[in-house]
Amino acid sequence: MNQEKLIEKSSQYLWLPFTQMKDYDADPLVIESGEGVYLRDIYGNEYLDGYSSLWLNVHGHRNEEINSAIKEQLDKIAHSTLLGASNIPSILLAEKLIELSPEKLKRVFYSDSGATSVEIAIKMAYQYWQNIGKPEKQKFITLKNAYHGDTVGAISVGQVDIFHRVYKSLMFHSLVAPFPDVYHHAELDDEDEIRDTALLELEAILEEHHHEIAGMTVESLIQGAGGMNIMPKGYFKGVEQLCKKYNVLLIVDEVATGFGRTGKMFAVEHEDVQPDIMTVAKGITGGYLPIAATLTTEEIYEAFYDDYTSLKTFFHGHSYTGNQLGCAAALANLEIYERENLIEQTQVKKAIIQNLLEPLKSHPHIGDIRQLGMICGIELVAYKESKKPFLWEDRVGYRTTLKMRELGMLTRPIGDTIVFMPPLAASGKELEKMVEIMSEAIEITTREYAE
């Protein structure tokens, strides 16, 4: 089929996620293939994958080892249900995940997206308290601007404004504590003070409501879709301690941060945080197939272990839960981490990125550069001194990413914050090229929209 026809059919039949189709129809893009850190469209144009195909690609596209593992598994079986019958790749992957994750976590419950891994965490925490005779613990506490996925439960513990405006009456109510947002804080600019104030406010809510709170959901060390905001040192540990003090389950979302993104296998390791429940997805298969998992403790698992008639069974599961192809891809992915010492390499890449981004700090329209390992957010502002944003309707972040696309790199913005999240396997040269394109696009776009 020729390219024009494909574009036409793409606009005629598809409805893309999180996409205003009016934007898409104005600038359609159809990807045909990928190789390493490059994506190729149907016209043969190449783009650097500056967002790891939505924060999940690790070793680049068409990695031979992962492809072979999937093909090998395909020759045995593609899928059989995990309802009442386990399978070999899901057993081996569960063992590997437990080996890699914080000590307290001993059980793996599979799903197929980050949002569903969070839905499971919420239902698990909620039912746990019922199962042990404390049904009054039903609520959740979360942080301002949190993002945990787009399903109804996940948006209910999330605090992204657009969801609350559009889907309000579908959601359940969660308690909200402030996020210690250093760059956007209205009154304070001292990190320690911002951290301590946020912990005090969290404690005040827990003190008053702990008897009715089942769990606290929290993104691990950095809020992603909420604006790429990094917690000040010590805050995450403080959250863990408060959850323990007030008998609230700590549910840590490692969907975006897991599997080396922050320079550790899991971001909890930076502050030795031990979650009661931890969700993982995205990088688990290196970005090849949709597998996610919710990990928990033996204590929580045991609260569900009873006669079926007691209604203590965990009532959750999907047709493709624990899919063999996905688990085989994940196992191959994690083998590469070990063999190539990927976590150590990430430290080197982190420093390369830091050096490359350093000169951008003086740009008159770059308000802040936030980096945690290989997760970066570059916030564009109209006025650097006052941190005044560009006009919302000018969509400067979006236009900057369109310009980047024209120059040969793909990413998505969060408002006017440009997300830079290259595959962990990107070479120094490729990182350099990505930052070069990003700088040029920022320069051109901000110049056009600055007053």
Q: Which of 93, 230, 252, 255 binds ligand PLP (CB under 6 A)?
A: 255
**Complex with ligand PLP: residue 118 or 277, whichever CB lies closer:** 118
Q: Tell the residue number behind the tokens 């919710």, with chain if given.
A: 294
Tokens of 359: 């000169």
Closest among 284, 285, 290, 283 to 329, alpha carbons compared: 285
The β-bridge relationship of strands 46-49 and 409-410 is parallel
Q: What are phi and psi of 218, to 5 degrees?
A: -150, 135
The reply to whether 268 sits near ligand PLP by the rule CB under 6 A is: no
How far is C-alpha 134 from the geometric centre of its chain's CA atoms? 31
CB of 25 to ligand PLP, least distance (A): 24
Question: DSSP for 264-281?
Answer: SSSGGGGGT---SEEEE-
CB of 84 to ligand PLP, least distance (A): 26
The C-alpha atoms of residue 275 and residue 363 are separated, in whole angstroms, by 39
CB of 233 to ligand PLP, least distance (A): 20
The reply to whether 155 sits near ligand PLP by the rule CB under 6 A is: no
The reply to whether 205 sits near ligand PLP by the rule CB under 6 A is: no
**Complex with ligand PLP: residue 240 or 254, whichever CB lies closer:** 254
**Complex with ligand PLP: residue 280 or 434, whichever CB lies closer:** 280
Chain residues 278-297 in contact with ligand PLP, contact rule CB under 6 A: 281
The reply to whether 118 sits near ligand PLP by the rule CB under 6 A is: yes
The C-alpha atoms of residue 289 and residue 281 are separated, in whole angstroms, by 10
Question: Has 282 been labeled as part of a binding site?
Answer: yes
Question: Has 234 been labeled as part of a binding site?
Answer: no
Question: Has 362 been labeled as part of a binding site?
Answer: no
CB of 31 to ligand PLP, least distance (A): 18
Contact 56/287 with Cβ under 8 angstroms? Answer: yes
Question: Has 317 been labeled as part of a binding site?
Answer: yes
Question: Has 253 been labeled as part of a binding site?
Answer: yes
Q: Which of 63, 73, 113, 145 binds ligand PLP (CB under 6 A)?
A: 113
The reply to whether 343 sits near ligand PLP by the rule CB under 6 A is: no
**Complex with ligand PLP: residue 293 or 356, whichever CB lies closer:** 293
Residue 415, amino acid: G
Question: Has 115 been labeled as part of a binding site?
Answer: yes
**Complex with ligand PLP: residue 150 or 368, whichever CB lies closer:** 150
The reply to whether 114 sits near ligand PLP by the rule CB under 6 A is: yes
Question: Has 412 been labeled as part of a binding site?
Answer: yes
- What residues does 368 pair with on adjacent strands? 379
Chain residues 369-388 in contact with ligand PLP, contact rule CB under 6 A: none
Select the span of 107-115, 159-167, 191-199, 419-427 touching ligand PLP (CB under 6 A): 107-115
The C-alpha atoms of residue 295 and residue 275 are separated, in whole angstroms, by 9
Write the DSSP symbol of residue 232: P
Residue 315, amino acid: F
DSSP 3-state assignment of 409?
strand
Q: Residues with Cβ < 8 Å from 206, sequence gap 6 or more? A: 141, 213, 242, 243, 245, 246, 248
DSSP 3-state assignment of 126?
helix
Q: Which of 119, 219, 276, 416 binds ligand PLP (CB under 6 A)?
A: 219
Q: Which of 70, 115, 202, 426 binds ligand PLP (CB under 6 A)?
A: 115
The C-alpha atoms of residue 75 and residue 160 are separated, in whole angstroms, by 43
Q: Which of 48, 66, 256, 425 binds ligand PLP (CB under 6 A)?
A: 256
Closest among 267, 244, 245 to 256, alpha carbons compared: 267
Write the DSSP symbol of residue 46: E
DSSP 3-state assignment of 185?
coil
- Residue 319: CB atoms within 10 A of its CB come to 10
The reply to whether 58 sits near ligand PLP by the rule CB under 6 A is: no
The reply to whether 275 sits near ligand PLP by the rule CB under 6 A is: no
CA atoms within 13 A on the CB side of 121: 37
Residue nearest to ligand PLP (CB): 114
Residues comprising the binding site for substrate?
147, 282, 317, 412
List of residues contacting ligand PLP (CB under 6 A):
113-115, 118, 147-149, 219, 224-225, 253, 255-256, 281
Residues comprising the binding site for pyridoxal 5'-phosphate?
114-115, 253, 318-319
Residues comprising the binding site?
114-115, 147, 253, 282, 317-319, 412
